[in-house]
Chain A
Amino acid sequence: MRRLTIAEALREGISEEMRRDETVFCLGEDIGVPGGWGGAFTVTLGLEEEFPERTLNTPIAELGFFGAAVGAAIMGMRPIADVQYGDFLFCAMDQIHSNASMLRYMSGGTVKVPMVMRAPVGATGRGAQHARNMERFFVGVPGIKVVAVSNAYDAKGMLKAAVRDDNPVMIFEHKLLYGSKGARTESGAVDGSCEVPDEDFTVPLDRAAVARDGEQVTVLGWLLMHHFALAAAETLATEGIDAEVIDVRCLSPFDYDTIGRSVRKTGYVVIVEEGPVTGGVGAELAAGITERFGEYLMEPVRRVASPDVPVPFAPVLENAYRPDAERIAEGVRLLLQSH
């Protein structure tokens, strides 16, 4: 089977869905420009050749075009709106939060908002304003589904599932995992590519994935942190610690079935998150796990996350900001030792 990068997988998923359903269209900044970039990270590269009418390049107006996506969605279209950097979602926030997420409820279930939003996140040497992990701002917004893709298979499958879903779905993608090429190559990139089948498939928007079976401790992460958690597990294995690593991947709703099965088995949980520890997704996850499976926990849930600071620029500081495999491994050791 062929290997695809996440950027390629997303691109293929988007064009297949556009081919399958003519109500699907893309809108975003610097997309659909012949000779252009295909958005900030090449995901929509070349889309305009096959779908000139459905690849809409927008002005730099996030509030405007996210609102336009909502309006088109309630009229029977299936827009895929993307921002160049997740940070810019704040500019569009009113349309996402007040309109996309609420119109169904406010209408008593008579309005449908089938739209996909895509946002690249993560600290990548660009300083504080092109670096935030935005997941925390959308988990806990009723009416929106939130997923985060850490490999090409999930990227394509979840993109397709999101397009076919009748709700607003936010897809978070990590800049270091795209596998963007050429001028858009990221330094410090981590390989998110994998084998992706040719045939049509979807990945459910409410299922976590157990990426590595283990017996002693459950390590939960998503996006880049999931890759680092896997690396940490390898190190820990050499020390005789058998970690189960779960790609949480569906952030709203969480898959407490899969997570719970693991927690009941291991009794120890470490949550890894890129982003300030306070008020993060990990806080919600820890509370949810404690409420549901507290009796199985041998020790309180432990978080390995960023300090409570904006994302710094200097490489030495950015590396200290972003949890890495060693800090994750250390978090696991400390949790198990405290026993």
Chain B
Amino acid sequence: MKETEYDREFLVDLYERMLLIREFEEEVKFLFLEGTMPGTIHQCQGQEAAAVGVCSALEEDDVITSTHRPHGHALAKGLTPEEILIELFGGGTGCCRGKGGSMHVGNIDKGMPPAIAIVGGGIPLATGMALALKMQKRPQVAVCFFGDGATSEGAFHEGITLGAIWDLPVIYVCENNLYGASTRVDEITRMPHIAERAAAYGIRGETVEGNDVLAVHEATRIAARQCRDGEGPVLLELETYRLTGHSRRDACHYQPEEEREAWARRDPILVFGRALCQRDDVEQADLDRIRCDVEARVAGAIETARGEPAPTLADLTTDVYA
């Protein structure tokens, strides 16, 4: 099987990164339901392979844009659980100094501007980031994460049109989790695959098994190379499923039970863990140990985050202008 083509360290690292996101999201969900975490949250349990598969194929100085559902992207891009958690708690030392919150986490020094919570709003933005990279003759690529719901926005059409005519180094990554809020994707388009829309812009599109972290990694690696060779953009559609509510206390009554169960069996962490154990050099005990480490790491981050001071009232009116 193809897992054998990679070395152990790399694969275990992918597993750990996905698990970190899952553990982070589960703990955040608990904190939120418990009432200790303010605001609202959009979580990505079930979609970890997308975030990790894509970001593991990027260089550290590549850049990404994210959406209202950004925690996984941020962790995968290298933001620490601490800086995100502090932000979620509204702490003054969070990645956005308490002025962003869950829907706007980001850290420009790590290649991620604040996430854009206007559906589709990141698509023209990422296009412009890629335009800058090209004009500055830098080798990096920009990756734009968005959902299936965003493909109906004018911003999708306008952003990709520009990326395409200017041959920009940008990978448009659509995480097709079958739903935009409660609305199923087949109600918003007659196209069976979002990747097919690439043809309308004269760019390459590819539908990828989005819960297979290696498939996502490979597709991104190839797309990134294509972009760096001046042959971008690329539209990647990652087929996946959200194993949690859209936001807050959503009970997902609009998802058929069989569908949910079928996708739960395709849980990217479960599937990848099972595949890893097929290798001679990985045992269940190794994975259990990783789980313990990740749990301890997130628990520690929560403790740290809880202790961070809130912004002062003087911070209200700073950072409006440069």
Contact = CB atoms under 8 A, between A and B. Distances in A.
Interface of A: 25, 53-54, 56, 58-59, 61-77, 79, 94-95, 98-99, 103-114, 142-143, 145, 166-167
Contact of B125 (A56, A95, A108, A166): A95
Contacts, number: 152
A104 B322 contact: yes
A99 B318 contact: no
Interface string B80-124: 000000000000001111111000101111000110101001011
Interface stretch (B24-32, B152-160, B188-196, B301-309): B152-160
B114 A67 contact: no
Given A106-B99, A142-B320, A68 B114 contact: no
Contact of A108 (B96, B126, B162): B96
Among B98, B108, B127, B322, find the residue whose CB has the most chain A CB atoms closer than 10 A: B322
Contacts of A142: 320
Contacts of B96: 106-108, 110
Interface stretch (B12-20, B128-136, B257-265, B271-279): B128-136
Contacts of A63: 124, 154-155, 158
Nearest to B104: A106
B165 interface: yes
B125 A99 contact: yes
Contacts of B114: 103, 106-107, 111
B132 A108 contact: no
B161 interface: yes
12 contacts: A61-B161, A64-B124, A64-B161, A65-B158, A65-B162, A71-B142, A77-B136, A104-B321, A107-B100, A108-B99, A109-B97, A112-B322
B229 interface: no
B203 interface: no
Interface string B204-240: 0000000000000000000000000000000000000
Interface of B: 63, 65, 94-100, 104, 106-109, 113-114, 116, 118, 121, 123-133, 135-136, 142, 154-155, 157-159, 161-162, 165-166, 318-322
Given A64-B155, A106-B104, A109-B319, A98 B116 contact: yes
Contacts of A94: 118, 121, 155
B283 to A, nearest CB: 43
Nearest to B99: A108
Contacts of B127: 64, 67-68, 71
B124 A68 contact: yes
Nearest to B166: A56
Contact of A103 (B95, B113, B161): B113
A110 B136 contact: no
A145 B321 CA distance: 9
Contacts of A98: 116, 118, 121
B113 A64 contact: no
Nearest to B127: A68
Contact of B113 (A59, A66, A107, A143): A107
Given A109-B97, A112-B322, A68 B131 contact: yes
A103 B154 CA distance: 21
Contacts of A74: 108, 113, 125, 128-129
Contacts of A143: 320-321
A106 to B, nearest CB: 4
Among A63, A106, A108, A112, find the residue whose CB has the most chain B CB atoms closer than 10 A: A108
A250 to B, nearest CB: 14
B60 to A, nearest CB: 16
A98 B131 CA distance: 20
Nearest to A111: B108
